Amino acid sequence: MYKPTLDYAQQQDKEDKLAHLRAQFHIPKDPKGNDWLYFTGNSLGLQPKQTQQYIQQELDDWAKYGVEGHFEARNPWMPYHEFLTNSMAKIVGAKPLEVVVMNTLTTNLHLLMVSFYQPTKAKYKIVIESDAFPSDRYAVQSQLKFHGFDTEEGLIEWKPREGEELLRIEDLEKIVDEQGDEIALLLIGGVNYYTGQYLDIKCIAEIGHAKNCMVGIDLAHGAGNISPELHDSGVDFAAWCTYKYLNSGPGSLAGLFVHEKHAHNKELPRFAGWWNHNKETRFNMRQPFDVMPGAEGWQLSNPPILSMAAIRASLDMFEEVGMEALRAKSEKLTGYFEYLINQIDTDRIKIITSSNPKERGCQLSIQVENADKSLHKKLTENNIITDWREPDVIRCAPVPMYNSFEDVYRMVEILKTLL
């Protein structure tokens, strides 16, 4: 199906119905004015050109109205987070009631664990992937310690089998089957940051719930990349950042999901602030705490509007295109990338990401034998922006919003010469 030629790549770009999206992003350029080959949307997505306009609107309204901008701005700040809800819910496959944009990712995970990690002396352990993103590991270790448990005893790692890179769902099932009476929470990365493996979220939820464990998902590398269908999966909660595939800018706000089954449970323990109090009486100031239903009930503070404006600029693009079309292009683009890598005549490299398009997003993790960071440095010197992870993996993400088939072709041609 694929062909290892520039003509083929350029023809695919001509036939690509989403090719026009590339022109709507700022593509970094080298000193000669040529576009970088940018493959790190899995770390920081590129800036949509309309982002500046969206932020400028709020700056103008701040200048024009001052505090009255909360009600008089073109996009009133008081309910601004609600402008993001429907689009974000579609991206992660949730009901609007189940989603809110607030805080940052690890903060949200901690706030969710306040509610959904309720350990007892007998049932207190937490399951994570053995190679979970460090922030997740630190978060669950600190939660165990906060509740008075030993982090070595309380943390269970779901590991790949010896000689393998990818996780097997039957191994998780075995862990939970054998230790489920002691496990309070499964907190799993829906797409593993290192291997790019897209895990079966619904199956994970079923495994955890069969032993009365809560199940949470970190979608940092999933939101805007795969279609997690969170509501149908049945997971209890999830959280994700927006600065990777959702292109909202460095350190921008995160998203949060709480399943509808928990939406009206006011008895769930949680931290409180005035922004998860009933919006009808929020400004009365002297009412006892009355938590809002749904995901909004986990908010604490009024949101930073400038960050939300950047998120809205990106979400409006997702709303226009839709995840179905993005996933279709992603599978084809990443499939072409995989094909070209496999055409390289060397035993030094292998792709550790799943070869099944349904078990990965757009990221391919390329393991290079006897490599060190010098190879990554050489790629950078050739204006190819990838992500190096110790000890020997280059993570590359051809993002369907702005990467082209020609990008992929040119990147692999340069990689050949460096190898």
User: For residue 74, what pLDDT is reported?
Assistant: 97
284 is in an annotated binding site: no
Q: Which residues contact 382 (CB under 8 A, 6 or more apart)?
A: 414, 418
Tell me the fold of 56-319: Aspartate Aminotransferase; domain 2 (3.40.640)
Q: Which residues are CB-neighbours of 310 under 8 A, at least 6 positions away?
A: 51, 54, 55, 248, 249, 252
Say which CATH architecture domain 6-42+322-418 belongs to: Alpha-Beta Complex (3.90)
Predicted confidence band of residue 372 (pLDDT cuts 50, 70, 90): confident
- Measured CA distances, 12 to 318, 336, 412 (Å): 22, 10, 16
Give the mean pLDDT of 343-349: 88
What mean pLDDT is predicted for residues 2-28? 97
pLDDT tens digits for 19-42?
Answer: 999 999 999 998 889 999 999 999
State residue 345's pLDDT score. Answer: 87
Q: Does 38 count as an annotated binding residue?
A: no
Structure tokens at 237: 């909660």
37-38/387-389 β-pairing: unpaired
CB 275 within 8 A of CB 301: yes
What stretch of H or E contains 411?
helix 405-418
| Residues 376, 398: Cα–Cα separation, whole Å | 17
CA 221: distance to chain centroid? 3
In the structure encoding, which two tokens stand for residue 7, read together?
A: 């003509």
Taking residues 300-328, what's their average pLDDT?
97
Question: For residue 303, what pLDDT band results from cuts at 50, 70 and 90?
Answer: very high
Question: Is residue 199 marked as binding?
Answer: no
Place of tokens 């001509």: 14
Q: Is 105 annotated as a binding residue?
A: yes
pLDDT at 317: 97
Q: Is the pLDDT of residue 293 over 80?
A: yes
pLDDT digit string, tens, across residues 329-345? 999 999 999 999 999 98
The mean of the pLDDT values for the chain is 95
Residue 371 pLDDT more than 90? no
Q: Where in the chain is the domain with CATH 3.90.1150.10?
A: 6-42+322-418
Q: How confident is the model at residue 408 (pLDDT cuts 50, 70, 90)?
A: very high
Calpha distance 202→204 (Å, rounded): 5
Q: What are the backbone angles phi and psi of residue 121, rounded to the nearest 5°?
A: -60, -30
Ligand-binding annotation for 264, yes or no, is no
Determine the average pLDDT of the residues in 282-301.
89
Residue 363: per-residue pLDDT? 97
106: left (phi over 0), alpha (psi -120 to 50) or beta: alpha
* C-alpha atoms less than 13 angstroms from C-alpha of 335 in its C-beta half-sphere: 14
For range 233-237, the mean pLDDT: 98
Task: Identify the band that residue 283 occupies on the pLDDT scale cut at 50, 70 and 90.
Answer: confident
Nearest-angstrom CA–CA distance, 155 and 175:
12
Higher pLDDT, 150 or 275: 150
Whether residue 133 is annotated as binding a ligand: the answer is yes
> Residue 165 pLDDT more than 90?
yes
Return d(Cα 16, Cα 405) in angstroms, integer: 9
How far is CA 309 from its chain centroid?
A: 19
Q: What's the CA gap between 214 and 227, in Å, rounded?
A: 21
Average pLDDT over residues 287-298: 92
Q: Give CA–CA dist 84/64, Å, rounded.
A: 24
Compute CA distances 87 → 157, 174, 262, 263, 323, whole Å: 34, 37, 21, 19, 11
Any residues with CB less than 8 A from the CB of 380 and at least 6 apart, and which? 386
pLDDT for res 253? 97
| C-alpha closest to that of 209 among 246, 242, 235 | 235
51 is in an annotated binding site: no
- 395 has a pLDDT exceeding 80: yes
- Phi/psi of residue 168, nearest 5 degrees: -110, 130
Query: Is 221 annotated for ligand binding?
Result: yes
**What six digits make up the tokens of 141?**
């270790």
> Which pLDDT score is estimated for 369?
82
The pLDDT assigned to 281 comes to 83
Is the confidence at residue 254, as pLDDT, over 90? yes
**Tens digit of pLDDT for each residue in 84-119?**
999 999 999 999 999 999 999 999 999 999 999 999
- pLDDT: is 282 or 138 the higher one? 138
Q: Are 387 and 194 in contact (CB under 8 A)?
A: no
Please give the Cα distance from 387 to 394 (Å, whole number): 6
Looking at the chain, which residues constitute the CATH 3.40.640.10 domain(s)? Answer: 56-319
Asked whether the predicted pLDDT for residue 370 surpasses 80, the reply is no
| Mean pLDDT on 125-135 | 95
Residue 243 assigned as binding residue? yes
What gap in Å lies between CA 30 and CA 348, rounded to an integer? 29
